Chains A and B, each alone.
Chain A
């Protein structure tokens, strides 16, 4: 945590996760992407042949595909050969915290992901660079048949369930970054909730990038069988270097009939990290999917959690919170795709741009012709804190037929002088007044979070507010 140089016109927030530790690398590959890297990864992971073929095919697709046109700017900034595509500081994923190498434990202690957290959680996973260092689940949940493993272990231990769902929801053909992930995926979680099982306490995973100029490609597969429930929470961070890193995750979720899944993200990458993520859920009849997507860090985020409602009466919901501080561009949003009758969906997006940051909401609501009686409601509100910052809103609604009701509302506003005056006239300091207004602004999203995470979000946003209005 260091003070900004005096020449800076405005200060960004202090990033306490920006340290890096010297952690011994056990396995790694040379910089750049190639078929040789793919082969190396398959060899050290001991993967079946079908996966090797899948990875090679995905790499070919990646090399062929262009960056989607609407992703602005990325094309010119990117040099794929700058990154290292596989770095592992661990031999295997441990089930006991004591078995995790000490230097890695030290990193996690500093981040506050101490072992104590397990008490609040149904399961905890910790990934460092390419591999999961730790992955464990509470005995009581394991007894009910809940599976919570690293994605690699999921493939090995439950090959049938894995292969039935893997890449069926997001195939490598979907987009360039999904193809990149498919070629180099490593780590992430495999979650299986059996029929009727309600997993009331959250399963949580923390992703840490420690290596420099590195690409992290975790892959998560969540299957909620009929009538089940689960809440999955992820957090992340990375050191501050002078170079860039890349994080391209893929998350596939299957919410089966009447099941409910909630997926909470608190993304807090350093401003070195390009965060290009594909997240999608398939929701069967009367199932409910809830994405709570908090984007507070990264150099650039491109991420639109999606709900594909494939069964009658499905419900999809996205709560999106983006805070674009100095050096950040949050291109976040959501997608609701209605493919069955009588489904409903809601998107609630709040973004804050300050210290020259830029936030964009990009959204799609699509209604197929036979998806009658669907309703969707989209609200996006943006707050701009200073004249150096920017906010954009790009919603798209594509409706076939008449039997849908779709509403979109958006506002962009600033912290008004009247509000500031009113609050300061009651004795508040200006910074506290701004912070109060901002907290009020994001409240509708934050109140949906579990308490620990709400506190964390408020802390992170609070840090961003420091000295934000001069």
Chain B
């Protein structure tokens, strides 16, 4: 399907799908009144995409490269994904050729700039067989309004991607993001996702295990405060067996923030030899917050190992006391423990400078 046809189908899909309401279990207790979609197609799009490439790879603005829309089709049953598919104007295309190992991190930065604007940055990432790369993708900027982004990832046979992506939009942004990775035979994605900004954020993070021997590691950190609403949806879909997926999402909530995590592990029939793990851990810091979690398993295979867990808890009093016996004051001890809670996610980031940047964003939010 050519791009114009895709856009037309996506627009139809967008118009057909209803707006989410609080009656939907995925959105219950979320306040969507700030969401204004009137004449969205006419609003100015203000995104600045900066690219920082590495030798031997293709990194260019996304125009009409193939295979746009294969991982996230234009009729994806998700109102905001369809909206972005219909209206996107800016984005990036990354291709790492077969067997090539990028020798330094590749960076894609999408800056949302305008006031009462919209942004639909779209990214297409293809790692050809045996390719290896590290990609750092950032969504940032002072813009407010509707921000809906799409990222499609294809890891072909034996490819390996270390993918760090984080969102630190301004408080006026309403962010709807869908990221979907296809992992082929013996390919591996090692993925870290940071969710920090925006007043209302919905993050869909999905991996589809298409080939035997594929591995997917997904680690997420969310820090929300000041009435921020963060909805997270994760999907680990094992289409074939002898695949492994491991997911850990950790959130810190305070000051009237709300999170709603829903994660599914789906193991198809005969996908034997699957190992799938899913964990959602939430640290709640005061009693004004709302924390929902729904870890779901749908298993049709009988030879597998599958475990999931979810917790909602407070800071541990014994740990606080222990730190205080060493002279840390109460506030410092608390902050240390909050950052410690997220450390296992940060520890997955292999690029030191990016890990620092991540840590600083978290530190600033924790100190606030």
Contacts and interface: CB of A to CB of B under 8 A. Distances in A.
Interface in A379-411: 382, 384-387, 389-411
B290 A399 contact: yes
The residue in B287, B292, B302, B308 that gathers the most chain A C-beta atoms within 10 A of its C-beta is B302
Given A369-B287, A401-B289, A406 B300 contact: no
B314 A397 contact: no
B22 interface: no
Contact of B297 (A386, A396, A412): A412
B314 A405 contact: yes
A412 B304 contact: yes
Contacts, number: 115
Nearest to A411: B307
Contact of A397 (B269, B297, B312): B312
A399 B284 contact: yes
B295 A403 contact: no
Contacts of B299: 382, 384, 390-392, 412
Interface residues of B, number: 36
B319 interface: no
A414 B308 CA distance: 16
A397 B301 CA distance: 26
The residue in A389, A391, A397, A407 that gathers the most chain B C-beta atoms within 10 A of its C-beta is A397
Given A387-B269, A405-B312, A395 B306 contact: no
A389 B302 contact: yes
A401 B288 contact: yes
B222 to A, nearest CB: 15
A268 interface: no
A395 B295 contact: yes
B302 A402 contact: no
Contacts of B12: none
A372 interface: yes
Contacts of A405: 311-314
A413 interface: yes
B312 A393 contact: no
Contact of B292 (A70, A398, A412): A398
B304 A414 contact: yes
B287 A408 contact: no
A394 B313 contact: no
A404 B312 contact: yes
Contacts of A372: 287
A401 B302 contact: no
Nearest to A408: B310
B293 interface: yes
A397 B292 CA distance: 5
A77 B306 CA distance: 31
Interface string A333-376: 00000000000000000000000000000000000010010000
A395 B294 contact: yes
Nearest to B269: A387
A387 B306 contact: no
Given A387-B269, A414-B304, A403 B287 contact: yes
Interface string B208-225: 000000000000000000
Nearest to B293: A397
A398 B289 CA distance: 11
Interface string B162-178: 00000000000000000
Interface string B251-293: 0000000000000000001101000000000101111111111
Given A390-B299, A402-B285, A412-B299, A396 B304 contact: no
Contacts of A412: 297, 299, 304-307
Contacts of B312: 397, 399, 404-406
A400 B291 CA distance: 6
B55 interface: no
B21 interface: no
B352 interface: no
A400 B310 contact: no
Contacts of A387: 269-270, 272, 301-303
A332 B307 CA distance: 19
B4 interface: no
Nearest to B258: A400
B284 A401 contact: yes
B98 interface: no
A406 B314 CA distance: 10
Contacts of A404: 312-313
12 contacts: A384-B299, A391-B299, A392-B299, A397-B312, A399-B312, A401-B284, A402-B286, A404-B312, A405-B312, A410-B309, A411-B305, A414-B304
Interface of A: 70, 369, 372, 382, 384-387, 389-414
Given A387-B269, A412-B305, 10 more contacts: A372-B287, A387-B301, A390-B298, A390-B299, A391-B299, A399-B291, A401-B289, A404-B312, A407-B313, A412-B306
